[in-house]
Structure 1
């Protein structure tokens, strides 16, 4: 209880500090939570000058202690600004109240710390506890009393969708009901999705697996038993794994029972306004795509107040492979922690992979108003990822054969016969290569070396992007996609692994740049993480953390990541008014109605946890 009380105090401190901070946007942009003493320290100045400008660093007493000249980057397409870069990295004295000045422009006071304090990692992990379904969220585990709430969807039992969809197509349903209680609400709605749950589970468990395999005592302690504010703390199991198991229980429950025949659309059908052709299949071992409401609930709606009928939506190959991948990963991680659970996971993974091989082309095809689609027309990456996880866990020839047959074998986001592309819920190929590069397995040493080299080469490409951007972040794109902050942080995961594999500090610095951008070094002078920084995100698109929509509901807890700028899908009412009027990094508004820009999601917070824990662990 002492540990939990201390954690709650730290969270409260984060919120109160942010509330008292100067929220006026500044011309000098930097990480609003401060810098590491021995790490990189960069700030960005938006200024039209074509020549370098003088800058000075002042201590808390106002004394100028360091001076230098800005580096003129020039016009920056992503922000639409003419920018200067300021590098303070050579200054390494820890302290509070530093200010950076360039002419009349002045930064807010900022701190330099010997090492990160771990607050962000703990807060980002608390997000998952507060997204739990089927159990009450208790006040003693959260930072403010108003964040406590009754259990929603307890129990969460449903049968297959058997109504007419938006095309008028009547679905036949099924003859069973599944109790798929537990799990995390996926985002700002009350749906629970197997596809997005997969990459989220993998990312969190990989953070633990990395710490274990590389023998990182700091990371093990930060994510271990008693480190987080959870009901399970003190049970002898690492807290991160306790949290993930809550989601795994839901994922395992979404598997179709044996000897069940279902009517599903086979093949990548594109019916337009027409209807899908349904075929009867042996669906045993497959995973339902999602468990969700028939219609969207209003904003705000607490989970316990959700009165919509919930359904299981038809099983898909993508969901089935997500289950196979993370169940196989869990089987090896829990092998000594809970052998019975490990066995259960491996059996589920085997069944799922076999089912996906029987039915390789059952895609998520909407529409079903009331839940997200997570449709994916290319499952090559899911097959490769699942085979990699099963091979790493079992070493069996059947999974090795599937690996070697894949065009993605040993590929990384930018390298290989067929590069995987950036990591995302619909781009999971790199996860398979990351597992093969990190987890001991039976591949030839030269093949493991190639997997590692490909990942390091991708990290190098990301560093090249970093140099090309005015705001110095490892991401270059003509447009910023939905959930761009997670795209940037997933690149930081690859950079972090490259640092682990090579020891090269430049890769870690690239991960720092990604985090600096998310925490305020961006053209909006905005921290996209609630409760952190002078100008934190405050009004997410969320059914419960919805104080902007209704003062009776709470503001978000600390540690919640906004999806971030989105210049490629501007379909909500707030974003649509900005269309054609904003540069990619500025297409964002802190508004609960802006679901394309300011929703939150489990797969976005997961890389925030990974990168934050990595930076805490590797600080000098």
Structure 2
């Protein structure tokens, strides 16, 4: 009997040990791998099969416990396919490096608690755009030897180049522009601008929202930043124009604006004043392919109403932000904005098709009502002219729910009404008058409150909860755009909850996610470093670099569009549909319109203090 009891006891002990080992193997701690702000929320997500609360400790760099607590079980998260808990250590505010969270036998990666934790990210994210420039040498003394390269697309062999680009030939154009029946015989110098997404294409509609959000960083900074001098510094980014008396972010924005101005159809031609939708190779190049080695012919693609209104919007915004730095350029931008607006009024329905173009993306958009609303808003903010106010008020978006896209996102390149509403609320209070201004502000604050309600359902803390249970292409950038809406609500209301929610949402991008990876290159313990790019292609060619610090990966994408994702991610839970692989372009792209909101939010987080 004694032997049987002893045997049962040993079986129970070994079963307990085995269970504990299995539990430890299954348990994982997801934190913001960069760290936390002293006065901000500090939460971690614990992956655990346990239904009961778990004990956790916060330990310092010497492994001394400085705080203890118990997790809050959050249940099964279908988006991640994981059972989760929350550990909250917000009350701990002592600054330092080398902190860890400990749960049972598991320890998190080290992180910091520092007030300036987003300072370096704000610099890297905006310096990223210099490396996306077309038509100029990327200088070793600025970018470093790894990232230096000759100028691309200047017509120097093997480039055909962008110095004299023809329109797409008539036969090819006939396949895509069946209703417009478009062709042309002129050529344009469209040098400059930014390469869009690690390839050789340049797109006005994607450039439009990206350059707008860089200018937003300055415009918002002047009004709301706790240290506007930092945002307006002309010695902060890594770019050639540093120290010229113009904020570095605006120097970078000008590089794209100058390109967009070159995309206008000449006066004497059919569709004069309209703007070409894009310029890119007529056939795809492989990976890797440095811009100066690209041998493919280039072509201008048909003008579109969307592209024309993008120029009208950003040129009007640019006229505001450049006014105190370069009045001549400001005047030129405003003239161009008005001309583009008039051209779009004359051709309101030239739609960019969503076709399978060779050599570049389509960026098709069959609804330009939001672009009309955006362009009218920017022109009104720039001029105060009641003609544009009438256009705003006659838009279906004037009183519409511009942020209500089923939890998928506040706005993007194809849906810009939300961006227009933000600008009216943040910058238009004096022009709009009390009632209309209050309506705009109430709209933004109400949208932020709705986003926060969605955020509360997310065990990983991000402001993103798609109601169809699928993660969108570029989900990380959508998270940032939603964060921008909530950040605007904080600027408009001073309500602490909005600031805290933006701070918490950033955790997801920096490691507190189902993948346990920071999606920003160079930040955190484990981070994305093989994003899809033809020149940041170290994974394929060891002589080429990985993407630079501050590069944002697109993030989880439920649509498995590339071959490697179809092979390796079949059946993935939405938040885990991600591969850090250069061939996984569906989830691992880098693009200008994804890094631009990162610039905005990094500056917001670095330059906004609790009031």
TM-score, normalisation: structure 2 = 0.90
Tell which structure's C-alpha radius of gyration is larger: 2
The alignment partner of 1:164 has SS state of: helix
* Counterpart for residue 19 of structure 1: none
Q: Contact 1:25 / 1:524 at 8 angstroms: preserved in 2?
A: no
Tell me the distance in 2 between the aligned counterparts of 1:167 and 1:566: 33
Q: Contact 1:578 / 1:587 at 8 angstroms: preserved in 2?
A: no
Tell me the distance in 1 between the aligned counterparts of 2:174 and 2:76: 48
Shift in CA distance, 340/419, structure 1 to aligned 2, threshold 3 Å = farther
Tell me the distance in 1 between the aligned counterparts of 2:149 and 2:592: 19
The alignment partner of 1:577 has SS state of: helix
* Counterpart for residue 111 of structure 2: 110
Tell me the distance in 2 between the aligned counterparts of 1:543 and 1:304: 11
* Counterpart for residue 549 of structure 1: 540
Tell me the distance in 2 between the aligned counterparts of 1:222 and 1:260: 42
Q: Contact 2:408 / 2:472 at 8 angstroms: preserved in 1?
A: no
- Structure 2 counterpart of 1:180, from 166, 176, 190: 190
Structure 2 residue 323 is the aligned partner of structure 1 residue 313: no
The alignment partner of 1:56 has SS state of: strand
- Structure 2 counterpart of 1:598, from 582, 588, 596: 588
Q: Give, in angstroms, the shift of residue 572 of structure 1.
A: 0.5
* Counterpart for residue 4 of structure 2: none
Tell me the distance in 2 between the aligned counterparts of 1:535 and 1:559: 14
Structure 2 residue 607 is the aligned partner of structure 1 residue 617: yes
The alignment partner of 2:171 has SS state of: coil
Structure 2 residue 446 is the aligned partner of structure 1 residue 445: no
Give the root-mean-square deviation of aligned CA atoms.
2.0
Structure 2 residue 370 is the aligned partner of structure 1 residue 381: yes
The alignment partner of 2:607 has SS state of: helix
Q: Give, in angstroms, the shift of residue 213 of structure 1.
A: 2.8
Tell me the distance in 2 between the aligned counterparts of 1:210 and 1:26: 42
Q: Give, in angstroms, the shift of residue 530 of structure 1.
A: 0.7
Which residues of structure 1 form unaligned runs of 5+? 1-23, 262-282
* Counterpart for residue 575 of structure 1: 565
Q: Give, in angstroms, the shift of residue 56 of structure 1.
A: 1.0
Deviations 1:52-82 (A, max 9, x none): 1111111222222211100011011111110
* Counterpart for residue 194 of structure 1: 204
Q: Give, in angstroms, the shift of residue 578 of structure 1.
A: 4.3
* Counterpart for residue 12 of structure 2: none
Structure 2 residue 271 is the aligned partner of structure 1 residue 225: no
Tell me the distance in 2 between the aligned counterparts of 1:233 and 1:26: 48
Deviations 1:72-100 (A, max 9, x none): 11011111110000111000111122111
Tell me the distance in 2 between the aligned counterparts of 1:469 and 1:587: 17
Deviations 1:95-125 (A, max 9, x none): 1221111111211222111332510011011
Q: Give, in angstroms, the shift of residue 585 of structure 1.
A: 0.6
* Counterpart for residue 154 of structure 1: 154
How many residue pairs were aligned?
572
The alignment partner of 1:460 has SS state of: helix
Which residues of structure 2 form unaligned runs of 5+? 1-24, 156-161
Tell me the distance in 2 between the aligned counterparts of 1:303 and 1:163: 26
Tell me the distance in 2 between the aligned counterparts of 1:566 and 1:419: 15
Tell me the distance in 1 between the aligned counterparts of 2:35 and 2:402: 31
* Counterpart for residue 277 of structure 2: 289
Q: Give, in angstroms, the shift of residue 217 of structure 1.
A: 5.5
Tell me the distance in 2 between the aligned counterparts of 1:308 and 1:25: 50
Tell me the distance in 2 between the aligned counterparts of 1:483 and 1:26: 28
Q: Which moved more, 1:528-537 or 1:548-557?
A: 548-557
Q: Give, in angstroms, the shift of residue 454 of structure 1.
A: 0.6
Q: Give, in angstroms, the shift of residue 555 of structure 1.
A: 1.2
Q: Which moved more, 1:186-195 or 1:504-513?
A: 504-513
Structure 2 residue 416 is the aligned partner of structure 1 residue 428: yes
The alignment partner of 1:99 has SS state of: strand
The alignment partner of 2:85 has SS state of: strand
* Counterpart for residue 92 of structure 2: 91
Tell me the distance in 1 between the aligned counterparts of 2:99 and 2:290: 42
Tell me the distance in 2 between the aligned counterparts of 1:352 and 1:114: 44
Q: Contact 1:26 / 1:107 at 8 angstroms: preserved in 2?
A: no
